[in-house]
Each structure stands twice: as C-alpha cells, then as structure tokens.
Amino acid sequence: MKKIKTEKKPIYIKFFKPYGVLCSFTDPEDRPNLSQYILQPDVYSAGRLDMDSEGLLILTNDGEINHRITSPQHYLQKIYYVLVEGNVTSENLELLSSGPIIKGSYKTRPCNVEKIPDPLFQEREKPITPHGPINWLKIILNEGKKRQIRHMTAAVGLPTLRLIRVAIGPIKIEGLKPGEWELISESELTGLKKDLRI
C-alpha cells in the first residue's frame, strides 16, 4: 500500500523572549531556554536574540519563511528600544544613524535613530544599576550583525544597558509580556509574506 504523505499545518508564533533565556529548545548547561515557555512541537526560531537581550522572536515550522527571515537577501526592518547610559547628544545620534565603525573595521549601514521617552516596559528580573544618566533610544536597523546594536552604541560612548526588539517587519510585540506568546494573525502573516516577497 502506498503511503500518503501528509503536510504539516504551518504554524507561526510571536514570542516575547525574556532576559536571560536562550533562543533554543535545549541547552547542555541547563540554562533557561524556549522549552520552558513554548510547548508547541516542531517550531524553530527564525533568527536569534542574545541571552541578555529581550523582545520579539518569530517561531515557525515553515522552512521557507524561516530561511527568508534570516537571509540577508530578504532582510526585514527590525525595530529596537535601547536603554543606554550617558547623555545623548545630537552628535551621538548623527554618528549612530550614519553608521559607526564596529569591530575595528566594519562600517554599519545607515539606520534610523531617535531619542524616545521611557516606553515603560515591565521591569526585568535582573535589576539594572547604571552609574550615570540613562536614556531610551529607538533604533531601526536594516541589517543584523551579531550584537550589532551593543557594538554601535559602545562605539559612540553610550553603552547599552537594556535591549528590547519590538518589531520584525510588520510583526509587532504589542500586547505581549515577557514570556508570553501567541499565534501570528492572518493579516500579520499576509504583511510578512508581502515584505518577504512570497
């Protein structure tokens, strides 16, 4: 008897990754990871956030969507709220937006940067202890190098204290608290596919 291949139903999840959680479902060192929050089997993170960063992750079992979200050829605009230490000047903002040099030689692409009021996110479990004035920035990137924002703010004398990704393309984190997830809506998915040219 011929076995009929059944296709898996595509699943698209948006998750507010808390501080201190790995973007994987297993860890040999038994550190906090996605398995403690998301019980849906066979989904994988489309892109990553550092353990010490927070915010939006997209998880899916759709291999094409996953590949396109993480591919530089289809790079989606990503929005971050960044708490920095130091006095933010127009010169800082200009240096950040024009693309500072990080890691010694790489000049980052121009991006949008503005100073914003405190977005009033829930306090994280590990408290932040600044040694000087603090300010929030909104940074919109069109590329994604490893720990890029932290390197960028350090390069202009504004070390990052907290970093929260709030949007990936049309997918936003609004309405979710750290550790919460929900299925991506049909309208959000349509917008995402349009941005990814699917």
Same domain, 51 and 91: no
Is residue 96 situated within a structural domain? yes
Are both 116 and 65 inside the same structural domain?
no
Residue 3: inside a domain, yes or no? no
> pTM, whole model, 2 decimals?
0.92
Q: What is the CATH number of the domain that holds 94?
A: 3.30.70.1560
pLDDT value for 142:
86
Taking the C-alpha atoms of residue 184 and residue 56, their distance in angstroms, rounded to an integer, is 12
Domain identity same for 135 and 176 = no
Tell me if 4 is assigned to some domain: no
Claim to verify: residue 37 and residue 86 sit in the same structural domain: no
Give yes or no: residues 57 and 16 share one domain. yes
Q: Do 47 and 120 have their domain in common? A: no
Instruction: Please check whether residue 111 lies inside any domain of the structure.
Output: yes
> Which two structure tokens, joined as six digits, stand for 134?
């603090």
Asked if 88 and 136 sit in the same domain, the reply is yes
Residue 5, pLDDT > 60, answer no
Greater confidence, 25 or 4?
A: 25
Contact (Cβ atoms closer than 8 angstroms) between residue 46 and residue 192: no
The pLDDT of 129-145, averaged and rounded, is 92
In this structure, what CATH number is given to the domain that contains residue 68? 3.30.70.580
Q: What is the pLDDT of residues 60-114, one digit of tens each?
A: 999 999 988 888 777 789 999 999 999 999 999 999 999 999 988 899 999 999 9
Q: Are 45 and 58 in contact (CB under 8 A)?
A: yes
Counting the structural domains of the chain, the total is 2
- Give the residue numbers annotated as catalytic, written as ranges: 50
- Whether 5 is in a domain gets the answer no
* Residues 110 and 155 grouped into a single domain: yes
Question: Which residue matches tokens 């937006």?
Answer: 97
Q: Name which of 79, 63, 197 is nearest 149 in CA terms.
A: 79
Tokens of 176: 């979710």
Task: Let me know: does 16 contact 180? Beta carbons within 8 Å.
Answer: yes
| Cα–Cα distance, 189 to 198 (Å, whole number) | 11
164 and 175 fall within a common domain = no
Q: Which domain holds residue 124?
A: 77-168
Q: What is residue 70's predicted lDDT score, i.e. its pLDDT? A: 86
Q: What's the confidence (pLDDT) of residue 124?
A: 86
Tens-digit pLDDT profile for residues 19-76: 999 999 999 999 999 999 999 889 999 988 999 999 999 999 999 999 888 887 777 8
- How much is the average pLDDT of 2-11? 68
6 lies in some domain: no
Is residue 88 domain-shared with residue 163, that is, in the same domain? yes
- pLDDT score of 104: 85
> What is the per-residue pLDDT for 145?
84
What is the pLDDT, as a whole number, of residue 135?
A: 97
The answer to whether 81 and 116 are in contact (CB under 8 A) is yes
- Residue 161 shares a structural domain with residue 81: yes
Given this model, what pLDDT does residue 192 score?
92
Task: Label residue 2 by pLDDT band (50, 70, 90).
Answer: low
Q: What is residue 196's predicted lDDT score, i.e. its pLDDT?
A: 87
User: Which pLDDT belongs to residue 73?
Assistant: 77
- The SS3 of residue 139 is strand
> 145 and 121 in one domain?
yes
Dihedral over Cα of 131, 132, 133, 137: its sign: negative
Contact 117, 181 (CB under 8 A): no
